[in-house]
Amino acid sequence: MSALPFSTTCRHSNSPLHPHSKSNFTGLGQRNNIWQLFVITKSNSRRAIRKLYVKNVASDKTAELKERLIKQGTTSNEFVTDSASVASSIKYHAEFTTSFSPEKFEPSKAYFATAESVRDSLIINWNATYEYYERVNVKQAYYMSMEYLQGRALLNAIGNLQLSGPYAEALKKLGYNLEDVANQEPDAALGNGGLGRLASCFLDSLATLNYPAWGYGLRYRYGLFKQRITKDGQEEVAENWLEMGNPWEIQRNDVSYPVRFYGEVISGPNEAKQWTGGESILAVAYDVPIPGYKTRTTINLRLWSTKVSTEEFDLKAFNTGDHAKAYAAMKNAEKICYILYPGDESIEGKTLRLKQQYTLCSASLQDIIARFEKRSGMTVNWDSLPDKVVVQMNDTHPTLCIPELIRILIDVKGLSWEKAWDITKRTVAYTNHTVLPEALEKWSLTLLQDLLPRHVEIIKRIDEEFTHEIVSEYGTNDLNMLQEKLGKMRILENIELPDSVVEFINNTVLADDPVEEIDVDDNDIKATEKKDNEEENDDDDEEEEDEVGKDEQEADDGEELVVENKKEWKFEVDPNLPMMVRMANLCVVGGFSVNGVAEIHSEIVKEEVFNEFYELWPEKFQNKTNGVTPRRWIRFCNPDLSKIITKWIGTEDWVTDLEKLAVLRKFADNEDLQSEWIESKRRNKINVASFIKEKTGYVVSPDAMFDVQVKRIHEYKRQLLNIMGIVYRYKKMKELSAEERKQLFVPRVCIFGGKAFATYVQAKRIVKFITDVGATVNHDPEIGDLLKVIFVPDYNVSVAEMLIPGSELSQHISTAGMEASGTSNMKFAMNGCVQIGTLDGANVEIREEVGEDNFFLFGARAQEIAGLRKERAEGKFVPDPQFEEVKAYVRSGVFGTYNYDELMGSLEGNEGYGRADYFLVGKDFPSYLECQEEVDKAYRDQKKWTRMSILNTAGSYKFSSDRTIHEYARDIWRIEPVVLP
């Protein structure tokens, strides 16, 4: 394994990975040849060195300057500031390290050469960061996430390094435009939605704020999927983001850990056990540098890929023609990291998902422990692990960190159960991201037992100890109440209580019950005794022995009668329901901190989702409202607006101190600022219109309002409410004359984007519905530019970076109480986009910060939802006539021949799965229409609208991920910034 984290991938004794290595970067030798700064793997050929020096070195003077600056420890942007040096570096990589033909210098080759040039600068800071962390042995946070939705890295990296100018000039000299080159980069397909985007924002803030941290994830070969929109709706195809390679990652062939599945558990000495047999794979590390903004700190995202050793290839089977058998083990290992969230409708799919989660947890924890031991030196004090390591589980996917850490500490390191459990509870923390019951992960106990037998033993013991704690807390006076508490709080669901718990409860109940006294006549007792004595005298020895046995049996029978007359309490289980392991409960029990991600969400977590746990451990629960990085989400994606902000605030410090945006409030009515603001927004809208034409073929007018809803397609996010509102708008337009339409309706371009999970049928119906409405509306000559409906295919970070700066209204309209936070709402607010939404997730706090008058609010409140669903179930709900009108219009076939009965049917009825309008689209529909009328009215007054836009940006300062990370570091992780000397 690695002794130092950032090294070349060779195994030589002089490698930085070797314990006695003195340097962790190949190019930091004593020679003054500048080419060494950019070489990762050196050739021993004298001829090659001479050729490289002649072709790529600007001057000896520059080389000497760079070498001197490296020795002084200055930042990379201080020694690569001129475009000539940058161009030299790009040309070197184009010739020597790129995987393209030498005779061409096409855009894709230019991108790779440029990215590799930037990576060289990152590696110097990258190595310096962790060499210093190793030396001072700081406490480090490890962020564990199944998703990292990073987006493109090139512009972000050179922006953080303050090298945008030199790289733009260098590429211009080489015949390319920086933006065109950057567009050659595919989005890293490592995430799906807000969970992964949040994780990436956090890494950016951690690096920028100089916090010692490290991210862990999986390297998905095909990501989630690439979305295509056809006449049939959404079509999924494999993502090809790694097809040309990834210039940002460094494969660590010498950093790998075994991960086991199946097998059996053999008891060992003390409490340790040996997990043997089964299936074993290797998790191999791929490292990606994450640079901070205007700082040398560059942290690491370590991604795991899976494989097996070469010996697993069955050469004999291959040679006999059984090719599938020959490489079965290899494919079985590799497929673990093929797809993000593989379909889990089948047992094979569920098994694969569980393998993914355990691979992330096991490989990462083995790596963390190895790093802790290395830093500890000769003597390892395991009690100090929580003082040096904190593991943050991003949602429930990494829950297996808890039993895996215990397993390593007991079975591998020889600690006792008590010590291992105590250390784990002080090391691991949990972020909850959902209140949806189906998203609170549960796994089949049978599947877990089969795949991870040792971990089930550990989980059962945790459950047993925690069950005793529940019984101790609530007592046995009210057994019905105890049954309810156990049913909600146990880690194991629908599983008999451990014998020790049952015995304790029954013994307690028996001990507490009074003994019933029975009145008996003394004469009867004497008569019985006399009769017995007479019988004893007449019996021989054998008969006497028989009588004694009979008496003992009668005594036993008497005892049994006593027990049978007592009530033995049993924990109720349903034999028709599966036995499950509740991962969220395990997170709460095994973690020292539980946090929600918005104020309203954290309250729901405490009052509803985990109320019993909150009552037991109120000190565990916190709120950490999400945030997004202002570097990517204003500074880099919206440079036009950024210049205006800097001009009016008077400093660019807002990029790392977003509270300075509040200064804009005093200029909100300034006509000059408003004029600049409107012009900037229009330029961004023109860019969006061009993008839409390229991606969909539709032509839209930049004079119309750009109304955007981009996020994962889900019923609770209510894209259906949005499109039903658009259908109503379209129907009313069709009923009016051309002149009346122009008077009553503000022109709108309604833009949708997002992916429906491949097996989520209802979500895919919604995508189909949106695209069908668009196909009808967009080709209606009567409507023209008054209304357009656009579905942008394959929504990702790069698409968001294009759409958000040009948006004017954004929709965050989830059913109240169901969105944990949301982060796209924060990005829109930062870019001066006015929002329409419910009081859900971070909307509540955004509305507070930007001002109630600058947020369009509608819909039922979170505390009303349960009552409204109950009203529906009782048949008391009266649907709005406008809503019924829209449903009938859809069913009339105006949007094509597709049968929308199932989709419309989900909004009808009073109960049943997939019916009864569970997400209250119909209930909120009239309120939504009224609110949209207010939107039209406000937009007609462009001065008022622009003021609202400015105040949205000014009020978005709270939603920087820098603020969020400061709170995590202070309140949960207990880590301090570490600035490199």
Q: Which residues pair with 960 in a beta bridge?
A: 628
Sign of CA dihedral 574, 577, 579, 582: negative
Backbone angles phi and psi of 185, in degrees to 5: -80, 125
Alpha-carbon distances of 194 from 130, 150, 217, 552, 804, rounded to whole Å: 29, 11, 16, 72, 15
Backbone angles phi and psi of 428, in degrees to 5: -105, 135
Residue 97 has, within 13 A of its CA and on its CB side, a CA count of 27
Catalytic residues: 433, 711-712, 717, 823, 827
Contact 628, 205 (CB under 8 A): no
Contact 473, 283 (CB under 8 A): no
Contact 227, 243 (CB under 8 A): no
Which two tokens mark 768?
């189909």
Contact 143, 211 (CB under 8 A): no
Closest to 806 (Cα-Cα) out of 669, 908, 668, 691: 691
Residue with tokens 């609770």: 716
Contact 436, 818 (CB under 8 A): yes
Q: Which residues pair with 705 in a beta bridge?
A: 748
Letter string b/e over residues 604-622, b meaning 16 or more CB atoms within 10 A of that residue's CB: bbbeebbebbbebeeebbb
Q: Where are the alpha helices (DSSP H) in 282-400?
A: 315-319, 323-326, 328-334, 347-376, 385-388
Contact 242, 328 (CB under 8 A): no
Which two tokens mark 369?
């422990």
Q: Which amino acid is at 482?
A: L
CA 424 to chain centre: 22
**Residue 569: how many other CB atoms lie within 10 Å:** 17
**Residue 909: how many other CB atoms lie within 10 Å:** 14
Which two tokens mark 559?
């005892």
Euclidean distance between CA atoms 854 and 835, whole angstroms: 8
Q: Which amino acid is at 620?
A: K
Collapsed DSSP state (helix, strand, coil) of residue 226: strand
Q: Which amino acid is at 565?
A: N
Contact 858, 836 (CB under 8 A): yes
End-to-end CA distance of the chain: 28
Contact 400, 361 (CB under 8 A): yes
Contact 668, 645 (CB under 8 A): no
Which two tokens mark 134?
């190793």
Residue with tokens 């020292």: 592
Residue with tokens 């019985």: 528
Contact 122, 157 (CB under 8 A): yes
Collapsed DSSP state (helix, strand, coil) of residue 238: coil
Alpha-carbon distances of 914 from 720, 762, 902, 918, rounded to whole Å: 14, 9, 9, 8
Which strand (E) or helix (H) includes residue 428? strand 428-431
